[in-house]
Chain A
């Protein structure tokens, strides 16, 4: 079993609107897999289905080797999730947040204690210790949210637009964190609408109107579409979609 995620003909409909239309892709273990698309292209819907936040209308989904329909409890133990809102409890301190999320994943008290120490050291949070999350700078919050999603050492981490609203330097630092985890064998599944970030991924998928329009490594895609950067590919695909509609 070398696949972290296997998706076959995944479709999600809201009434008559098809948000996600027959997706097919596989993600290898240890891969940094990027999911690109404009707002409303279906990225978030797809990632929500993979995380079990939403049920698919049809199609097969296997995450971390478990079936999304029957084994969703097992999937939950093996994935981490961070949303674009850096969902931490504003009125709790850093340690209290880590303790809470650790507790939810059934970590023992000793393990949680060592995690708190580890994160404070790794993220240079000494000066923020004992402060409430609401007082933290956005960049620190983002890193903390990522660490918290990682607290139970999951096989796959899903990141839903993890860098929205953050300055370029912090974004760069954040990607360093992602690489570090990938180097440890973790699979990273990330959605973004920053095209420069796509270059950091091992492979990318470009979604347009609920469908996958391109899927390969950034360099191969650039060759295939004969462009200098991912942005142009993205624009070409979006325009093609628009002209075919008109």
Chain B
């Protein structure tokens, strides 16, 4: 058993491809997702058409410019320049300040600002418009306070709990964490078991007095350890590179991660019982496992928006439950009392796959 584990480690460390998958992909993924898939907008270049030109309008422009979201690149005098500015591509939004801006503001009349956004990227456009509204409404508040007559306004003050600044990093770290653990644990074990079959060494092992359970344990143990190190690495990266806050218990998070790793490993073992070559194992774990996890776990697309059939399918994705757990622990600081249901689901999935693999294994012996 000990010899088995040593041999497994030797093989993993000697195989550069395995090492690359094991540690390269997680680090690359987390950094890529962190920097490239950033949905926050900072320093968007905008232009302003200032038809008013007086001090109040300058005040508004300064207000906009001083926020982190916008950089006012150009100030035009008429709407004619808007089209050309958009076509150059730099400018993402144009705000038009009307001529009677300060006059109407002074007499507490309704003022209309026009916001024109470049919707060739609809997501960015709608986020920019939202930001603009936020900045303008805070400008409005200052001015109303300053004026003598106050309007009976109903103000909606929204607060985004658990992710106040709406950083997308907080949203994807749990997802990437889940997918990497799934990928590394399930794919690597299934490939390494399939490799033994391909080389014919599995036969030799089965002929030896070592029991199938020992073979599996010997195979799985190194990957549990490596995946666990991986989990720690991802968490460290997300904490120190992206400033992810950890409100919950780290111990609970790691314990849940361990459970999820075991689940993924048993899934990997199951995949290896149905595939005879490394290629099959790899393709199976890629297409049958990874893609559904990415698409249906609620990592990229919200589950609530899916058709019923897909929502129902998403319940079968182990990743979905783990993402819920990770989000709850990291962002909300939830404890086991809130998460026992999800934990139980992952736990039963683990038992299910182990049972299935053992059964499959016995059938294989009697039909071979």
Query: Contact residues of A with B, CB < 8 Å?
Result: 14, 48, 51-55, 73, 76-77, 79, 81-83, 85-92, 96, 99-106, 149
Contact = CB atoms under 8 A, between A and B. Distances in A.
Contacts of B15: 91
B11 A89 contact: yes
Nearest to B8: A100
A105 B208 contact: yes
Nearest to A85: B200
A122 to B, nearest CB: 21
B358 to A, nearest CB: 16
Contact of A103 (B4, B10, B200): B4
A96 B199 contact: no
Contact of B199 (A48, A82, A89, A102): A89
A83 B366 CA distance: 19
A120 B148 CA distance: 100
A14 B10 CA distance: 38
Given A100-B7, A103-B4, A52 B205 contact: no
B204 interface: yes
Contacts of A85: 199-200
The 7 tightest CB contacts between A and B, nearest first, are A103-B3, A85-B200, A87-B200, A81-B207, A54-B368, A76-B209, A87-B201
A149 B203 CA distance: 12
Given A55-B366, A89-B201, A104 B210 contact: yes
Contacts of B365: 53-55
A90 B199 contact: yes
Most interface-central of A73, A77, A81 (chain B CB within 10 A): A81
A104 B10 contact: no
Interface string B209-236: 1100000000000000000000000000
A77 B209 contact: yes
Contact of A100 (B3, B14, B200, B368): B3
10 contacts: A48-B368, A52-B206, A55-B365, A79-B207, A90-B199, A91-B10, A91-B15, A92-B10, A96-B7, A149-B204
B20 to A, nearest CB: 15
B109 interface: no
B367 interface: yes
Interface residues of B, number: 24
Contacts of A81: 203-204, 207
A73 B209 contact: yes
Contact of B201 (A48, A54, A88): A88
A14 B367 contact: yes
Given A89-B199, A101-B208, A102-B3, 10 more contacts: A48-B368, A51-B207, A53-B365, A83-B203, A85-B200, A87-B200, A87-B203, A91-B14, A100-B7, A105-B209
B145 interface: no
Contacts of B368: 48, 53-54
Contacts of B205: 104
B2 interface: yes
A94 B204 CA distance: 16
A13 to B, nearest CB: 10
Contacts of B14: 91-92
Contact of A83 (B2, B10, B200, B209): B200
Contacts of A76: 207-209
Contacts of B208: 76, 101, 104-105
Given A48-B368, A53-B365, A92 B203 contact: no
A91 B13 CA distance: 10
B272 to A, nearest CB: 17
Contact of B209 (A51, A92, A106, A149): A106
Contacts of B7: 89, 92, 96, 100
